[in-house]
Structure 1
Amino acid sequence: MNGILDKDYSSGSVLNFGELLLRITPDAGGDWLQENSIPVFVGGAELNVATALALWGVPSRYFTALPKNGMSEQLVSFVQEKNIDTSSIYYHGNRVGLYFLTKGQDLKNDALIYDRANSAFAELTPGQVDWDKVLDGVTWFHFSAICPAISQNAADVCKEALEAASKKGITISVDLNYRAKLWKYGKEPIDVMPELAQYCDLIMGNIWAAERMLGVKVEELVTESGQKSLYVKEGQKSSEGIIKQFPKCKAVANTFRFTANDNTNVEYYTVLYTGDKLYLSGEHRAETIIDKVGSGDCYMAGLIYGFYNNNDPQQIVDFATAAAFTKLFVNSDATNKSVEEIQKAIKQ
């Protein structure tokens, strides 16, 4: 049996490790200046995963770092209302991380501005956190490549947490989120991520992220082709390359989302490679979508949900894909779709 598929996770919870962020969302036309009003969303990739898992009935915990003040109390209460265990949160420092993203724009767009320097999470250092205590009762640990992109300290703390989780036999997953506007402390992803990926049982991303972060090459002709059959084939090749490079890894998932710049004509499908076999999801299409933010996080949550409940690989990839696609129609960082709603959206 595949080690990640035949494990009992139900005795513990999923711990999501990452920075809580406030997303400030001005409108493109500047009306917020006249109205003295601007939407704020509570998010962060790992919190989005935690929110989805809690909604779907998986025991969900969240580790982040926050300053000890009144605003943090409000934020923690907000997270707790979503049935997420916040007992692992570490309090120190002076500020919460922010990012600004113009309404309707993509995270890769020039409309994205980060304001995360000197946040409580960015200023975590090795030796501060009692990982034995934090990881007690945890059977799955999740993080994303955003964490080590923030600062050298964050990368070092991430490795410390992974070492502790690995020693406890906890299953570990990573989302290869690439954010071009991070990684500003003198390191490239390829300098950092392979060292962290060696601890992972499940690696999720896309073939281009795997190339940039783990050095698994993608044929240039594949990228230029636009052909689904070639993308799927390259997904398998990339997955096999990752598993060969990182023997602890037992499953690799790749997403393929194509859309016009104005959020129209969306095409979405994914593949999961595990047990020497590739599983392809159904294909989802839409003429327009509402919000791309958090779709990949929802996919990651869908994978964890499937493995946590010991579903078979085809069920896992179908559920995760439908979860991510339905998130595209939710105006928030995290999904609000139930398991039943997602199951109805599965494409065969």
Structure 2
Amino acid sequence: AEVDWFHFSAIVPAISRNLVAVCDEALRFAEKKNIIISADLNYRKKLWQYGEQPAEVMPELINYCDVVMANIWSANTLLGIDVDENIHDKKSKDAYTDHAYNTSREIIRRFPQCKTVANTFRFDEGEGIHYYATLYHNAQQYISREFRNNKIQDKAGSGDCFMAGLIFGLKNEWDPKSTVDFAAAAALGKLQEPGDLTNNNIEAVKYIMENHE
């Protein structure tokens, strides 16, 4: 089957300079083949141990990307995009989503190949979680519905599930609001499952998206 989408995680170039070169080679090949490229800007501080700062490494790779998933803090650490250090003091969803809007616009300004940026927000609430996301596409930002759960099973893999939902919506040419709602619901579903992998299928995610209170 023909490959039409290449996705990579910032965890890979975090491991070694050799893997930065591997990523770069793969991205150059994908670009030549007109394959859509996406990246997850997940930051793992303990992995960056080979002497270069993330913001010295990641921009050269993000130059190839059509779609970027981030949050306002990882965009700061990995790409050098400004972040308001006092944003938490504002305790406001509007402040967070306005910041996501500015972060998304700056990513697209710096990396013209990029046309779509998602930002996720996940806040602990006791044993539970408060989750929502934004999607910037065609110069407009779309905000997902808010999801809350009183108790989570495992945080591992929720970002991967968000990204999978995002790619699924974009590939199927859903409208941006439905896409970001589906991606956020996929993440919430994973937060209620133990382990790294999800057992939720498309219908299960749609059910969460449409019925979660």
Alignment TM class, shorter chain as reference: over 0.9
Partner of 1:165: 30
Q: What is the CA distance between 1:222 and its match in structure 2? A: 1.9
Whether the 8 Å contact between 1:171 and 1:200 is mirrored in structure 2 is: yes
TM-score normalized by structure 2?
A: 0.96
TM-score normalized by structure 1?
A: 0.59
Partner of 1:293: 156
Aligned with residue 268 of structure 1, among 93, 108, 131: 131
Matched, 1:227 2:102: no
SS at match of 1:142: strand
Q: Which one-letter code corresponds to 1:257 in the other structure?
A: R
Q: Which one-letter code corresponds to 1:147 in the other structure?
A: V
SS at match of 1:204: strand
Matched, 1:153 2:18: yes
Partner of 1:310: 173
Aligned with residue 242 of structure 1, among 103, 107, 110: 107
Q: What is the CA distance between 1:347 and its match in structure 2? A: 5.4
Partner of 1:175: 40
Deviation per residue, 1:253-305 (Å, 9 max, x gap) = 00000015xx6131000000000000100000111100100000000000111
Q: What is the CA distance between 1:224 and its match in structure 2? A: 2.7
Aligned with residue 83 of structure 2, among 205, 209, 218: 218
CA distance in 2, matches of 1:317, 1:271: 7
- 1:181-220 equivalence runs, <5 A: 181-220=46-85
Whether the 8 Å contact between 1:243 and 1:250 is mirrored in structure 2 is: yes
Matched, 1:326 2:189: yes
Moved over 2 A (4+): none
Whether the 8 Å contact between 1:259 and 1:265 is mirrored in structure 2 is: yes
- 1:1-348 equivalence runs, <5 A: 137-260=2-125, 264-346=127-209
Partner of 1:108: none
What count of residue pairs does the alignment treat as equivalent? 211
Identify which of structures 1 and 2 has the higher relative contact order when contacts are C-alpha pairs closer than 8 Å and 6+ apart: 1
Identity of aligned residues (%): 50
Q: What is the CA distance between 1:221 and its match in structure 2? A: 2.7
Deviation per residue, 1:290-323 (Å, 9 max, x gap) = 0100000000000111111111111110100000
Q: Which has the higher helix share?
A: 2
Root mean square deviation of aligned Cα: 1.2
- Structure with bigger gyration radius: 1
Q: Which one-letter code corresponds to 2:128 in the other structure?
A: N
Structure 2, unaligned runs of 5 or more: none
Deviation per residue, 1:152-200 (Å, 9 max, x gap) = 1111110110011011111000000100110101111101000000000
CA distance in 2, matches of 1:320, 1:333: 17
Deviation per residue, 1:229-251 (Å, 9 max, x gap) = 10000000000000000000000
Deviation per residue, 1:59-98 (Å, 9 max, x gap) = xxxxxxxxxxxxxxxxxxxxxxxxxxxxxxxxxxxxxxxx
Whether the 8 Å contact between 1:322 and 1:342 is mirrored in structure 2 is: yes
